[in-house]
Amino acid sequence: MNGGVSDAETISHDDARKQFTALLHALSAAGWSKVIPISRPRLKGEQALAYALKNPGYPLDPSHDLSLAQWMKLPDGTPWLFYADHVFLEIKLYRDPNRLDPDKRGAYFVTYSMTAQDAYLRGYVDDEKLDNWKMEFRKELPALKQAREKKEAQLRNDNVTIDQAYQDPAVFQ
């Protein structure tokens, strides 16, 4: 699904930020939980943002309200990832590259990709192994978790705080 941040063709960047933030909070209030892919480090807030700016594709923390300056630094396709009731929801933000002056109006485009849990998990399995994808996913889990642990150890050495309270969806256990 595709949409905008508002009904208007253009919107002030700060209003876009506020409306998008309200959407993220509404999803969380409706029971959608933040997801960090199993091989990615467990970060939140400012540290998730800093990591995402250096590692495109890392999903941002929906509970972290971005400042206008942070909002304007987001690259196209910045994702937020959620999970609820056996469905993964990825939201990506795009903006008109010709309307980036923070003092003028911008234009935004948002994509919403809903993926059934089984389809999402199959994405972790090589195509030639899809016939037994559930077993193959379970085999792959330790390596994915090890990749996360390795990255988190590197980040700890750089004085980055790991979000120990984060809980993966039960399907990743």
Domain of 95? 2-117
- Number of domains observed in the structure of the chain: 1
Residue with tokens 């399907």: 171
Q: Does residue 6 have a pLDDT over 80?
A: no
Is the residue at 146 inside a domain? Answer: no
Is the residue at 153 inside a domain? Answer: no
Is the residue at 19 inside a domain? Answer: yes
Is the residue at 152 inside a domain? Answer: no
Is the residue at 166 inside a domain? Answer: no
- For 14-23, 52-61, 88-97, 129-138, which range has the lowest pLDDT when averaged over its residues? 129-138
Is the residue at 25 inside a domain? Answer: yes
CA–CA separation, 57 vs 71, rounded Å? 16
Residue 54: which of 155, 143, 163, 140 has the closest Cα? 155
pLDDT given at position 173: 77
Average pLDDT over residues 78-106: 96
Is the residue at 18 inside a domain? Answer: yes
Tokens of 167: 């809980």
Is the residue at 89 inside a domain? Answer: yes
User: 1 burial class (0-12, 13-18, 19+ CB within 10 angstroms)?
Assistant: exposed
Q: Residue 63: which region, alpha, beta or left (left: phi > 0; alpha: psi -120 to 50)?
A: alpha
pTM of the model: 0.92
pLDDT given at position 155: 98
